[in-house]
Amino acid sequence: MTTFVTMDKLINYLLEFGQLNQQQIDLIKGKIQVLELKKGDYFSEAGKIPKQVAFIEEGILRVCYYNSQGDEITKYFIDENNFAVDINSFNQKIPSSEYVQAVTDCTLLVFSTESLNDLSATIIQWDGIINKITEKALVEKVNKLSPMLAEDATTRYLNFIEKFPSLANRIPLSYLASYLGITQSSLSRIRKSI
Amino acid sequence: MTTFVTMDKLINYLLEFGQLNQQQIDLIKGKIQVLELKKGDYFSEAGKIPKQVAFIEEGILRVCYYNSQGDEITKYFIDENNFAVDINSFNQKIPSSEYVQAVTDCTLLVFSTESLNDLSATIIQWDGIINKITEKALVEKVNKLSPMLAEDATTRYLNFIEKFPSLANRIPLSYLASYLGITQSSLSRIRKSI
DNA sequence: TTCATTATTTGCCAAATGGCAAAAGTTTTT
DNA sequence: AAAAACTTTTGCCATTTGGCAAATAATGAA
């Protein structure tokens, strides 16, 4: 199945962080590979060195890992109009310790390492744009996580619903419970109590 | 009181992220202002637009804010050999929502906005180095915060002690309790139980 | 030193969350 | 449709943490 993808979301997103002329935009579009993931598919896996960066055109991904007790922990969810990559592993070219998995069917716009290198070498503003995007994404993650510690589980759940209204009842309890830092049965009880 | 400061820690730290020749190093050193803070002093305050970036040569800072209920929350601690700045407010030149306070007496190496601009314009590698440092610091924060949600308060406290062995009993309970996401009395009980 | 102030600990009880296993509900496979 | 596999809910009880106020300890000022 092929889906028509305009890439407008991506281009508009990039333009928020710097100017690009039409020639540069066309160059960028030419580097992109469209990747459709079905719910449950993995975009990248622990143990492998990530070789791609994805912009989420449509859908929701989650980043997860296994902790020292062997529990699968959802570190965070990433939604539409954001980039997904294990930035540390990608930059340092070391095996990732995380999985990136499609929580819903997704349309991803994928850049390979080589494409990114080309863009970096060709478009003078590229690195600056990417750095701004990276920084903003990380700051957002910190600002999201930090207050969660002070909130009780019900509040964390309500905040999740607010951010991902369509998701709460359509993903496995385990994804959400581990993200919220509670057990599945506690989450089930919280749901009932609301 | 004037303290002799070699700035070696800073230079070595910068060199981890990129190469610099002696001339560049001297230029950087010339832009630095040494700032001594006493325990409790503020490096920057909420409501103000941050105009400085600090490298912690000696001591420990904390970043804190007031939540919607008016509680003072310690967002994180920053120790020696790290930069401190409310990066969002600094870059966007908007008033900060956070305080940066000395938890112990500190020796800071301070760059002003203008100095940073000069260095950025003069040293070709500067932006790259700063971006790498920024990214690494933010990734570390995410990786630190994320597992805390899944740990119980005692584990979080033990991890804190491990990272800041000298601090646990020398700072107000309130700093630490709000960082750990528990009340002061809970922290007091956890302390006793260990 | 003494008083005043502030920080920490403690007691008491309530609320939140965990652990485990069984029951109920869903989905997938045959 | 039935069976199997998997997910979610629930019961029961233990543990953790919170809330509040009083007691104690530590700190700073007069």
Residues B29 and B7: beta-carbon distance below 8 Å: yes
Question: Does the beta-carbon distance from B150 to A76 stay under 8 Å?
Answer: no
Q: What per-residue confidence (pLDDT) applies to B108?
A: 96
List of chain A residues whose C-beta atoms are within 8 Å of the C-beta of residue B139: 87-88, 138
Which residue is closest to B65 within chain A, CA to CA?
A147
CB of B94 within 8 Å of a chain A CB? The answer is: no
Q: Does position A150 have pLDDT exceeding 60, yes or no? A: yes
d(CA A77, CA A140): 12
Q: What per-residue confidence (pLDDT) applies to A6?
A: 79
Q: What per-residue confidence (pLDDT) applies to B177?
A: 97
The distance (Å) linking the CA of A176 with the C1' of D5 is 22
CB-nearest to B75 from A71, A146, A180 is: A146
Q: pLDDT, tens digit, for every residue of B139-155? A: 999 999 999 999 999 99
Which residues lie closer than 8 Å to B140 by C-beta, 6 or more apart?
none
Q: Can you tell me the mean pLDDT for B65-70? A: 89
Q: Does position B22 have pLDDT exceeding 90, yes or no? A: yes
Amino acid at B2: T
User: Which domains does chain A carry?
Assistant: 8-125 (2.60.120.10)
Q: pLDDT, tens digit, for every residue of A18-31? A: 999 999 999 999 99
Q: What per-residue confidence (pLDDT) applies to A3?
A: 56
The separation between CA A146 and the C-alpha centre of its own chain, rounded to angstroms, equals: 18
Q: What per-residue confidence (pLDDT) applies to A4?
A: 66
Q: pLDDT, tens digit, for every residue of A34-62? A: 999 999 999 999 999 999 999 999 999 99
The CA-CA-CA angle for residues A157, A160, A166, to 5°, reads 115
CB of B131 within 8 Å of a chain A CB? The answer is: yes
CB-nearest to B142 from A67, A128, A145 is: A145
CB-nearest to B67 from A73, A147, A181 is: A147
CB of B152 within 8 Å of a chain A CB? The answer is: no
Question: Backbone phi, then psi, for B110, in 5-degree steps?
Answer: -110, 135
Q: Report which of B64, B74, B102 is spatially closest to residue B184, judged by C-alpha positions.
A: B74
Q: What per-residue confidence (pLDDT) applies to B5?
A: 74
Q: pLDDT, tens digit, for every residue of A84-128? A: 999 989 999 999 999 999 999 999 999 999 999 999 999 999 999
d(CA B53, CA B87): 9
* Shortest-distance nucleotide from A191 CA to C1': D9
Which residue is closest to A132 within chain B, CA to CA?
B131
Question: Does the beta-carbon distance from A181 to B135 stay under 8 Å?
Answer: no
Mean pLDDT, chain A, integer: 94
Q: Can you tell me the mean pLDDT for A160-169? A: 92
Q: Which structure tokens are listed for B152?
A: 């119980």
Q: Which structure tokens are listed for B123?
A: 């040293």
Q: Does position A69 have pLDDT exceeding 90, yes or no? A: no
The separation between CA A160 and the C-alpha centre of its own chain, rounded to angstroms, equals: 15
CB of B26 within 8 Å of a chain A CB? The answer is: no
Q: Which structure tokens are listed for A191?
A: 């749901």
Residues A101 and A64: beta-carbon distance below 8 Å: yes
Strand-pair partners of A129:
none
Instruction: List bases in chain C with any atom under 7 Å of a protein Cβ.
Output: 7-11, 16-21
Q: pLDDT, tens digit, for every residue of A166-184? A: 898 889 999 999 999 999 9
Residues A97 and A89: beta-carbon distance below 8 Å: yes
Q: pLDDT, tens digit, for every residue of B84-116? A: 999 989 999 999 999 999 999 999 999 999 999
The separation between CA B116 and the C-alpha centre of its own chain, rounded to angstroms, equals: 18
- Per-residue DSSP letter, B165: T
The distance (Å) linking the CA of A175 with the C1' of C30 is 29
C-alpha distances (whole Å) from B107 to each of A63, B44, B56, B76, B165 are: 38, 15, 6, 19, 19
Q: What per-residue confidence (pLDDT) applies to B6?
A: 79
Q: Does position B131 have pLDDT exceeding 70, yes or no? A: yes
Q: pLDDT, tens digit, for every residue of B33-62? A: 999 999 999 999 999 999 999 999 999 999
- Per-residue DSSP letter, A12: H
Q: Does position A5 have pLDDT exceeding 90, yes or no? A: no
- Per-residue DSSP letter, B110: E
Q: Can you tell me the mean pLDDT for B122-126? A: 96
C-alpha distances (whole Å) from A47 to each of A41, A93, A95, A102 are: 16, 11, 5, 18
Question: Does the beta-carbon distance from A139 to B138 stay under 8 Å?
Answer: yes
C-alpha distances (whole Å) from B90 to each of A46, A131, B2, B62 are: 35, 15, 28, 17
CB of B121 within 8 Å of a chain A CB? The answer is: no
CB-nearest to B145 from A91, A142, A178 is: A142
Q: Does position B23 have pLDDT exceeding 60, yes or no? A: yes
The distance (Å) linking the CA of A166 with the C1' of C23 is 28
* Shortest-distance nucleotide from B186 CA to C1': D17
State the alpha helices, DSSP H only, in A64-112.
87-92
Q: Report which of B38, B83, B34 is spatially closest to residue B63, judged by C-alpha positions.
A: B83
Q: Which structure tokens are listed for A77?
A: 């969810």
